[in-house]
Structure 1
Amino acid sequence: MEAAGRLFFGSGLARVSMDDLARELGMSKKTIYRHFPDKRSLLAAVLDHQFAAVEHTLAAATEDAAGQPFAVRVQRFLIAAGGELGRIGAPQLAAGRGDTMLRQYVEQRVDAVVYQRIDELFREGHEQGLLPAPPELLSEITRGSLERLLMSELPRDLDWTAADLLRATVDTVLYGAIRPTGQGVDDERPRAVIPTARDDEQEVGP
């Protein structure tokens, strides 16, 4: 499984055959097939192993940030999540060609391991009055931003690390692109919310 993981995530799933894996391990394909009947079952086992590692990393990031300001907790979790998803190529696996069942599996694991925890964080922040915007809206924006970022060429074009880009993305999504001078990322004072049509209707009254 370790050898398969190196090949799958190094060369790309479609480019790796069972012959490649057999050569890497110095054994026959027949020996591999005794444990895994086909490439898909082997890949599923590798993904299980990888997502277990992702869960461990995110749990550690959550624990390390315990007791920190809400903004710091969200930022550290998303940076850790982005790093892990990028490391195993989860966005590419979920959106790319190949086995439909494996794509669905990756989507389900990413949702359970990452996005459900993000949803919980945003609901917590909203309940505490730290996030005036609806948590469902923030979740959708953050999901789209994270996946698009990991699929883009921005790290190369801007010469930024993934962590740098994720910090800027989280900061912009949660607090806006324009900030008064001297206001830091750890400042948790509620920000102004752009007025909506519903706000206008409530102000007019009967």
Structure 2
Amino acid sequence: METKTVSGVSSDDTQRADVIVEAAGRLFFAPGCPRVSMDDLARELGMSKKTIYRHFPDKRSLLAAVLDRKFAAVERTLVAAAEDAEGQPFDVGIQRFLIAAGSELERLGAAQLAVGRGDAMLREYVEQRVDAVIYRRLDELLVDGHRQGLLPAPPELLSAIICGALERLLTSQLPRDLDWTAADLLRATVDTVLYGAIRSGGHAIDDAPHGAALPGVRSDSPG
């Protein structure tokens, strides 16, 4: 006799749905992977498409389930970054949050998902999840910093600059052109926004308090 969960869904069904979502995430969102069909997924899983469709009525619902799982992982990473920054100066917390966010979005391929998967509803879904998981938290951090008197500029302006830079870095060729990782570029962007881009008294932005040295710049280089 099949055991039922409280929701009325069998544990076997739940396990099978998890296996399908895991395989779909591995195939559909692999970097540089061509468009994968449900037939490809069925072959990978060794099950019929009918079985897949019993759990997910269409490809869109399956992709949404994959994205839910991926963004849940992003949230866990950001929570860990926030916990790691507790007790640290405000700018360190901002840096760690954004670098973690940028690294996760780069790994997820969220920018490419937002523009290249050919489904308007999924693009909107990705945008909403990025906004909820990352940008709203960033806004809260910046508003808190402004409230503490640590950020003289309007938090809305800083948010627009940083979010725009993040989206641009993830979709541009700049990391490849400069031979920097997206995280390196994001760190430099945060330093520029927080400390300014102009040298003052012979000190560069990487010499600012709590700032991370930029790639290729030695900390003992002459000013």
Q: TM-score range by the shorter chain?
A: 0.7 to 0.9
1:121: which partner in 2?
A: 141
1:135: which partner in 2?
A: 155
CA distance in 2, matches of 1:106, 1:60: 22
Match status 1:103 vs 2:127: no
The residue type paired with residue 46 of structure 1 is V
Match status 1:186 vs 2:210: yes
Q: 2:195 aligns with which of 162, 166, 175?
A: 175
Larger helix percent: 1
* TM-score, normalised by the number of residues in structure 1: 0.85
Moved more, 94-103 or 120-129: 94-103
**Contact 2:195-2:208 at 8 Å conserved across structures:** no
Q: 1:86 to 1:105 in 2, by over 3 A?
A: same
* 1:22-41 alpha-carbon deviations (Å, 9 max, x no partner): 11112221111111111101
2:56: which partner in 1?
A: 36
Q: 1:149 aligns with which of 153, 157, 169?
A: 169
The residue type paired with residue 68 of structure 1 is Q
CA distance in 2, matches of 1:104, 1:163: 25
RMSD: 1.6
Q: 1:113 to 1:13 in 2, by over 3 A?
A: farther
Moved more, 88-97 or 165-174: 88-97
SS at match of 1:143: helix
CA distance in 2, matches of 1:179, 1:25: 57
**How far 1:14 sits from its partner (Å)?**
6.9
The residue type paired with residue 8 of structure 1 is F
Aligned sequence identity (%): 78
CA distance in 2, matches of 1:163, 1:98: 27
| Residue segments in structure 2 that go unaligned for 5+ positions in a row | 1-20, 212-223
2:183: which partner in 1?
A: 163
The residue type paired with residue 114 of structure 1 is I
**How far 1:43 sits from its partner (Å)?**
0.2
Higher relative contact order (CA 8 A, sep 6+): 1
**Contact 1:171-1:185 at 8 Å conserved across structures:** no
2:107: which partner in 1?
A: 87
* 1:48-106 alpha-carbon deviations (Å, 9 max, x no partner): 00111111100000010011001100000000000111111111222335222111111
Q: 1:6 aligns with which of 20, 26, 37?
A: 26
| Residue segments in structure 1 that go unaligned for 5+ positions in a row | 188-206
Moved more, 92-101 or 126-135: 92-101
**Contact 2:175-2:185 at 8 Å conserved across structures:** yes
CA distance in 2, matches of 1:12, 1:156: 15
**How far 1:128 sits from its partner (Å)?**
1.3
2:93: which partner in 1?
A: 73
CA distance in 2, matches of 1:168, 1:50: 26
Q: 1:110 to 1:13 in 2, by over 3 A?
A: farther
**How far 1:185 sits from its partner (Å)?**
4.0
1:18: which partner in 2?
A: 38
* TM-score, normalised by the number of residues in structure 2: 0.79
Q: How many residues align?
A: 187
Moved more, 8-17 or 157-166: 8-17
**How far 1:12 sits from its partner (Å)?**
6.3
